Amino acid sequence: MAGRKYGLDLGTNYVKIYDNIRKNILVEKNMIAVRKKKEIVAAGDAAYEIYEKVSDNIVIKHPVRDGVIADVDPMGKLFDYLLKKLNCSNSMMRHNEFYLAVPSSITEVEKRAFFSLVNYSTYKTHNASIVEKPVAAALGEGLDVKRAGGIMVVDMGADTTEISIIALGGIVLSRLIKTGGNTINEAICNEVKLAHNMIIGYKTAEYLKLTLGSAVPTMAEPVTVYGRDLITGLPVHVPIPASLVFQCILTVLDPVLGAMRSLLERTPPELNNDIFDHGIYVTGGTSQIPNLERLIASRTRMKVNMSSHPQESVVKGLDVIMNSYELSDLAFSVRESAFY
C-alpha cells in the first residue's frame, strides 16, 4: 500500500509541512505551551496567540533554535500535533516517507536529531531522508542545481542566515550566520529601551519591524506603541520613528552583507562568472524586509533576485525532489548518511 510523502521545513518561527497527496502546505508557528512540564496547553498558532500573556505555571517553548532542534521532546509533541491536523494515521506510517530540510553547516549530532524526530515520534517510521536546505531552496526557486555553473543562494531565516554556493547538485561553499529576523526584533527592543526608557514585548517589536522596517532610509510616519516605563513601571505609549527601526535592521544585516562579500571572494573564478551573470538569489522569511534588494545590490554590486514566495521556497524544493527520480540522489537516508 502506497503512503504519503511529506516535506518538512522546521524553521525557528514556523514549521512548514508539504503533503504531496493533497498538494498543500501546512504552516504553523513553531511554538508549544506546556503546563507542569508535560501537559500541552496549546501548540502552533494557538501557542503564539497566548505568547507573552500566560501565567508563570505555563511555559512557552521554542523547540528550534539557530536552525537546529534544541529541545527534542517539545518538537516531537508539536510534530505529532501537526501530523494529526494533516490526518496522518498510525496504521499508514510505515508506508509514509519524510523529507527533512536541514542547514548544511551543522554538526553530525544536530543532523541526527532530525532523523530521531521522525523515528521516535508517535508516528514511527524509518523512511526518513534529509536534504540540504540551500539545495531545496534553489529547487523551490526553479533553479537547475545540477548544472555545472555556480548558484548563490541566501536563505534569511528567523535565527540564522545561510549563504551558499551550489554547483553540480552540491554545496561548494557555505556560511551559516546566527542572525536573522528575531535578532532584528531583539535589537528593536534594546534600542527602544535605551532611547525611550520603555520596555516592549517581542510582538510589539515584530509589529514595528513589519510596519516601519526598511533596508534603506524612509520618510514613514512614526508609529505609537505601548510598553512599560523602565523607571516607574507604569504603562506608557511612545511614538517610534522609522529611523530607529532602520538603524536596527542595518546593524543586524551588516555581518550578513560582509559574509556575502567574503564568500564571493573565496568562490572559484569560473563559478564567480556564472553568479555574476545570473545574480544572487535571496529567499527566507526575513528577505521580505522592504528594499532589501537595493541594500544587497549596493554592497555586492551584483544583480539580486528576490523570491516571490520566500517562506515556501524550501518546502516547494522538497516537493520537486519527492516527485523526481533524477533528483532523488539529493536526499540522503539514514543508511546513506556518513554521520550515522
Binding residues for ATP: 206-209
Q: What CA–CA distance (Å, rounded) separates 57 from 231? A: 27
- Residues 213 and 290: beta-carbon distance below 8 Å: yes
Distances (CA, A) of 245 to 120, 288, 335: 43, 15, 48
Half-sphere exposure of 290 (CA within 13 A, CB side): 13
C-alpha cell, 228: 512599560
* Secondary structure (DSSP) of 118-141: HHTSSS--S-EEEEEHHHHHHHHT
Q: What CA–CA distance (Å, rounded) separates 185 from 259? A: 21
Q: From the annotation, which residues make up the binding site?
A: 206-209
**Residue among 237, 197, 243, 200 at smallest CA distance from 219:** 243
Q: At what angle do helices 202-212 and 181-196 cross, to 10 degrees?
A: 100
Q: What CA–CA distance (Å, rounded) separates 296 from 302? A: 8
Phi, psi of 99 (to 5 degrees): -120, 120
- Residues 177 and 161: beta-carbon distance below 8 Å: yes
Beta strands in the chain (DSSP E): 5-10, 14-19, 24-29, 32-35, 39-43, 58-61, 64-65, 68-69, 97-102, 128-132, 151-156, 161-167, 170-177, 198-199, 223-229, 235-240, 280-283, 304-306, 331-333
